[in-house]
Amino acid sequence: MNAFTTRIAEINDILSAVNLLQWDARVMMPAGGAATRGQQIATLKAKARAMLLDTATEDAAEALLAKPADERERRAAEAVLAARKWHLSVPPELLRRQDEISIIAGRAWQTARAKGDFALFRPHLAEIVSLARQMADAIGYDAHPYDPMVQIYEPGETAASLKALFDDLREGIKPILAAALERAKPRTDFLYRDYPVEQQKALCAELAEVLGLDFTRSRLDTAVHPFEISFTRQDVRITSRWNPNYLPMSIFGTMHETGHALYEQGVDPALTRTAHTTDLIGLYAVGGSSFGMHESQSRLFENHIGRSADFWALHFGRLKAHFPDQLADVSEEEFVKAVNRTEPGLIRVEADELTYDLHIMLRVRIEMALMDGSLAVDDVPAAWNAAMRDDLGIDVPHDGLGCLQDVHWSSGYIGSFPTYTIGNVTAAQIMARLDETDPQLRDAARAGDLAPLRQKLGEIVWSHGRSKGRQAVLSAIGAEAGDCNAYLTYLQRKFA
């Protein structure tokens, strides 16, 4: 290893330890550990940042950039130099406070969510928004303070580009949604029966393996809000949550996180502990090129595969074997129709495919308004509730089922919500192109063999880690970022 690769490998090691502390904070840590855990994470990230900003790192990156062995080395050196420039613009005390507050706010959010009381979380959100504004000012922007925040998670996107995408999507989804809501409702009573948690866990572990998750390099645990996190491709953790009286939550939540994990496990081993498996701006160990590209893989496996009739033609028997009494009077067709029903609801992670993006648009409007000051933190619940009525025709009974339902704001992830819709759009683009160029992949999946699909996704997406951005991945398959036509066509065929 040369000086450059050694330095970046050491930074990645520190950030993998940060990820482990983050995983523990959400899965195992007692509530009393929040304040000191935030300090621990802040200290480790400060160490990683100091190594990045060391002149020795700059010298090594510039030397590599002068004579790169290949395109990957060139992009690695450019990524390091760009991250140095970004971090030099942001005061270190600001970054440290963001890291500290994320754990404290996370615990406060859990309590507030359980009690349905926004007031318990309000002061923490106020500080998180203030810190985000300070960061935007430090980085600088031309048009909107949301721009530098969203670019942390999805390089190249801005408030303006998101508005254009969302406007196109909203207009395209509205007639499909209207037509779907006019149809007779499928039977759904059986989804709400008694489903013991341990049996759900066993089923979901099996389904994750069916999709291709390697449990010698992974594990499935429980969290308030499901997530995936990696400490290199050799250790990729997923979580789910278990509602004993609503089966789809655990099934499709697990499939979603499995899609994320497959991406991380599929990164080229040669990229382990390199700049291509390290987010040097956000300071995380991660192999996906962007949040939106990561979401494309989770939504692909959750929806395009996991909710398909083809999948359940093969695995409905497995489901009934775990819950023979609960599903004794349910047919395969009834189950597929039920989990693909269109039914506006309160909870984003339980939303059907047609209303899901309306949930995202709501959150993004609120984030943008918080960033530009047109919405006060105190007014978030009222703004949320009004948007739910306007967009979905639903009254929110309490904040726990409203503005407190997601973990993202407590984690400081202002700017990350748009990536879910970007993921939906990108997943549809990828699958549409593969259906054109490699129709045998769909045939193999229908026969129960997902290995060819995983191999192809590995070639065009996973193996590159962060060495290729979303736009470059899409360009390589003849698609264009921001084009929602493939997604709207998919929704039209499935729902209208």
Note the pTM of the prediction, 2 decimals. 0.94
User: One of 257, 302, 353, 367 is an active-site residue; which one?
Assistant: 257
Domain with CATH 1.10.1370.30 in the chain: 159-495
Is pLDDT at 1 greater than 80 in this prediction? no
CA–CA distance, 302 with 125 (Å, rounded to integer): 30
CA–CA distance, 195 with 191 (Å, rounded to integer): 9
Q: Can you name the residues that pair with 228 across neighbouring β-strands?
A: 238
List pLDDT tens digits, range 459-490. Answer: 999 999 999 999 999 999 999 998 999 999 99
CA–CA distance, 479 with 146 (Å, rounded to integer): 26
List pLDDT tens digits, range 111-146. Answer: 999 999 999 999 999 999 999 999 999 999 999 999
Q: Give, rounded to a whole angstrom, the gap between the first and last alpha carbons of the chain.
A: 56
List pLDDT tens digits, range 229-268. Answer: 999 999 999 999 999 999 999 999 999 999 999 999 999 9
Tell which residue, 20, 9, 48, 24, has the closest CA to residue 282. 48
Q: Which residues are annotated as a binding site?
A: 256, 260, 295
**Predicted local confidence at residue 82, as pLDDT:** 96
Kindly give, in sequence order, each residue whose CB lies less than 8 Å from that of residue 493, ignoring residues fewer than 6 positions away.
none
**Per DSSP, which regions of 62-206 are E strands?**
none
State the average pLDDT over residues 181-205.
97
List pLDDT tens digits, range 162-180. Answer: 999 999 999 999 999 999 9
Tell me the pLDDT band of 2, cut-offs 50, 70 and 90. confident
Does residue 146 sit in helix, strand or coil? coil
Unique residue bearing structure tokens 């998670």 = 153
Does residue 28 sit in helix, strand or coil? coil
Class of the CATH-defined domain 159-495? mainly alpha
Unique residue bearing structure tokens 């049996």 = 199
Tell which residue, 356, 292, 348, 296, has the closest CA to residue 157. 292
Q: Which two tokens stand for residue 36?
A: 């000191």
- Categorise residue 415: left if φ over 0, alpha if ψ from -120 to 50, beta otherwise: left
Burial class (CB in 10 A: 0-12, 13-18, 19+), 447: exposed
Q: For this structure, is 257 an active site residue?
A: yes
Q: Which residues are annotated as a binding site for Zn(2+)?
A: 256, 260, 295
Is residue 338 a contact partner of residue 191, using CB atoms and an 8 Å limit? Answer: yes
**Per DSSP, which regions of 65-189 are E strands?**
none
List pLDDT tens digits, range 273-318. Answer: 999 999 999 999 999 999 999 999 999 999 999 999 999 999 999 9
Average pLDDT of the residues of the chain: 96
Tell which residue, 168, 11, 39, has the closest CA to residue 98. 39
Is residue 487 a contact partner of residue 428, using CB atoms and an 8 Å limit? Answer: yes
CA–CA distance, 365 with 244 (Å, rounded to integer): 33
**Predicted local confidence at residue 305, as pLDDT:** 98
Is residue 347 a contact partner of residue 327, using CB atoms and an 8 Å limit? Answer: no
Q: Which two tokens stand for residue 119?
A: 């007031």
Is residue 16 a contact partner of residue 232, using CB atoms and an 8 Å limit? Answer: yes
